[in-house]
Amino acid sequence: MSRLLNIDWNDVATFVTVAQTGNLSVASKSMHISQPTIGRRIARLEERIDLILFHKGPTGYDLTPAGKEILPTALKIIDEQFNFQREIKKTKEIMQPTLRIFSGEWMTPLIADILPEINKLAGKDLNVLIETGRQPTQDAILPNDIVIMNDPVDLNSFVLRRLGQAPYAVFGSQNYLDQHPESSKERRYEEGHWAIVNQLTQLGEAAVTNYEWGYPELGPNTTIYRSTSVLSMMTLLKQGKAMGFVPLFIGSKTKDLIQFSDEIQSLEHTYWLVYRSDSPYIDQVKKITAVLSEHLVDSLHIT
């Protein structure tokens, strides 16, 4: 029991990431820590709980039966950590008002372009915080939050701005295409190397969702590199190790990437900007959402 009380919950998060990716290199890039550190964390967790969690196989790290058994509980622990962080943020919202802007990793660079203007509009009364990669569920959206999401929420107490539809396509490097000419044809879905993003995308009671929405079915002869980070995925694409599904507003502007496919209809998403109508700083929120909407519509390849 004493060893269980000494568990480092960062080790649990590392276990979840390696379990999802099956690859230390991808997990390392996703978590921004070295592979030896990941290895030490896994070994330390295994020692603390007295279980072997992984077998190193020819294609990466495979979960043992014990690892498969505890993974759902580990995911719940990560969920509770998010809930705990949400409660902390609620308390800080009371003590020191913060305007949070939630967006996926694809959108964040576009928001960063106008962050000085956003800060100026927020004024001295509000701190501005960009929350990247995860969305709050409807019940977790605070009065001063602005959320960019794919699915609109219940209109009660919320204001919605439709930004438009953003198309996706398959992108990769010229080097990858030279080595795998089938990548420019429909055969790409039956063979080849793919970088896929898996993310915990929501904060709140519906905490774990899969980011693989709408992906075309990939055949059994494909090799799939899974990551919890868009940055890791893009690194694999630029290095010529894989191809991946990328929104046109990113892929078409990214050096070293070229478009392999036409737009993929199943991946086209409608983006919405959402905020609450009961914010005590509603004037600032309205001005900021207006600036965000104009900038994003101008920056995205959307219709």
Q: How far apart are CA 91 and CA 19, in angstroms?
A: 33
Q: How confident is the model at residue 45 (pLDDT cuts 50, 70, 90)?
A: very high
What CA–CA distances, in Å, run from 274 to 64, 84, 144, 148, 192? 42, 23, 11, 6, 38
* SS3 per-residue string spanning 69-121: HHHHHHHHHHHHHHHHHHHHHHHHHHHCCEEEEEECCCCHHHHHHCHHHHHHH
The pLDDT of residue 107? 86
Is residue 200 predicted with pLDDT exceeding 70? no
What's the mean per-residue pLDDT of the chain?
84
pLDDT in tens, 207-229: 333 344 556 778 888 998 888 78
Going by their DSSP bridges, the two strands 258-259 and 168-172 should be labelled as antiparallel
**% of the chain beyond a pLDDT of 90:** 38
Average pLDDT over residues 26-44: 90
The pLDDT of residue 155? 62
| Low-confidence winner among 16-20, 106-110, 206-210, 295-299 (lowest mean pLDDT) | 206-210
Distance of CA 44 to the CA centre of its chain: 27
